[in-house]
């Protein structure tokens, strides 16, 4: 109890300090706290997420990342190749398919729901850790953000499939923590009762390197095609051709397969 009260005091004092100085690192709302941190503050960011999950049981956390205008960065030559799920691609961009996959659910190996199969009730009972680079507040429509003719997926899970499935039992998802990147997922989930919905390839990566397990979602999910995109001025550039082949080879070497 002393430790919990100490952590609560730290967060409350830090929030008060930042708000008093009008530095909007914390945007406090009734049911949601939006946290912004520089990439160099990764260890602090991780600790804040852990503290938040331990202390603020009645709040949700939206981890806001700095989102680049991807189409603009490709247009000006700052990004040579981008990979993701795209609904619309400008005519002056080129693309190739890398892989097509659906979602898996991961959890810590000691999770109460650990087993070969999850139920819809499990998806309601346990809070969720999800990845998103922007929702409706960032202009996303049906899970895609449109910038300069490029519509890219903003969430790394099939939100509609989850919500429709839970609606059949009169429930809604418990979105506990939303972050803009995947690097801290394994550490955040350690010894917690959270579940995380991830693309198959990312789930396999975490399960191979951390004390986590993966299972199929207890509902049907759509499959998305991950693509590489680039500016057409690089179509015949020898270095770019070489790099595209390296990317394709890297995808071919990735582990395959999903739980039965």
- Is residue 176 in some structural domain? yes
33 closest CA partner among 17, 13, 11, 7: 11
Mind listing the pLDDT tens digit for each residue in 24-83? 333 333 334 444 443 333 444 455 556 556 655 555 555 444 567 889 988 998 888 888
Residue 208 binned pLDDT confidence (cut-offs 50, 70, 90):
confident
Can you tell me the mean pLDDT for 84-92? 93
- Is residue 14 in some structural domain? yes
CATH of the domain at 209: 3.40.190.290
Which CA distances in Å does 159 have to 85, 104, 131, 173, 198?
15, 13, 11, 9, 11
- Is residue 180 in some structural domain? yes
**Residues 153, 239 share a domain:** yes
Mind listing the pLDDT tens digit for each residue in 167-179? 999 999 999 888 8
User: Which residue segment(s) compose the domain that 230 sits in?
Assistant: 70-252
pTM over 0.85: no
**Residues 187, 89 share a domain:** yes
The pLDDT of residue 137 is 58
**Residues 106, 183 share a domain:** yes
224 closest CA partner among 203, 199, 205, 206: 199
Mind listing the pLDDT tens digit for each residue in 183-196? 778 888 877 889 99
Residue 123 binned pLDDT confidence (cut-offs 50, 70, 90):
very high
Domain end marker among 64, 83, 116:
64
Domain end marker among 12, 30, 64:
64
CB 28 within 8 A of CB 19: yes
**Residues 45, 79 share a domain:** no
What is the chain's mean pLDDT, rounded?
76
**Residues 81, 23 share a domain:** no
CB 57 within 8 A of CB 174: no
- Has residue 161 got a pLDDT over 90? yes
- Could you give the CA distance from residue 171 to residue 214 in angstroms, rounded to a whole number? 23
Domain end marker among 64, 85, 101:
64
- Is residue 260 in some structural domain? no
The pLDDT of residue 140 is 67
Residue 139 binned pLDDT confidence (cut-offs 50, 70, 90):
low
- Could you give the CA distance from residue 225 to residue 208 in angstroms, rounded to a whole number? 23
- Is residue 258 in some structural domain? no
The pLDDT of residue 67 is 60
Number of domains in the chain: 2
- Written as six digits, the tokens of 206 are 């975490």
**Residues 206, 78 share a domain:** yes
CB-count burial class (<10 Å; 0-12, 13-18, 19+) for 177: buried
């Amino acid at each position: 109890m002393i430790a919990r009260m100490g952590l609560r005091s730290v967060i409350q004092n830090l929030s008060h300090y930042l708000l008093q100085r009008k530095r909007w690192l914390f945007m406090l709302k009734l049911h949601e706290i939006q946290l912004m941190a520089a990439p160099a503050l990764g260890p602090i960011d991780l600790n804040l997420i852990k503290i938040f999950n331990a202390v603020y049981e009645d709040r949700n956390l939206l981890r806001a990342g700095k989102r680049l205008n991807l189409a603009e960065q490709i247009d000006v030559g700052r990004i040579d190749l981008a990979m993701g799920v795209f609904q619309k691609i400008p005519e002056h961009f080129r693309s190739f398919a890398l892989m097509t996959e659906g979602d898996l659910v991961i959890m810590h190996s000691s999770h109460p729901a650990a087993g070969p199969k999850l139920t819809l009730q499990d998806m309601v009972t346990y809070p969720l850790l999800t990845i998103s680079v922007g929702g409706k507040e960032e202009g996303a429509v049906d899970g895609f953000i449109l910038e300069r003719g490029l519509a890219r997926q903003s969430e790394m899970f099939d939100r509609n499939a989850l919500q429709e499935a839970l609606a059949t039992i009169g429930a809604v998802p418990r979105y506990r923590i939303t972050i803009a990147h995947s690097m801290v997922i394994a550490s955040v989930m350690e010894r917690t009762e959270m579940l995380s919905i991830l693309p198959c390839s990312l789930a396999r990566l975490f399960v191979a390197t951390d004390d986590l397990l993966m299972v199929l979602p207890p509902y049907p999910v759509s499959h998305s095609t991950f693509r590489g995109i680039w500016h057409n001025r690089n179509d015949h550039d020898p270095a770019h051709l070489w790099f595209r082949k390296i990317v394709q080879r890297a995808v071919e070497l990735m582990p395959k397969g999903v739980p039965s």
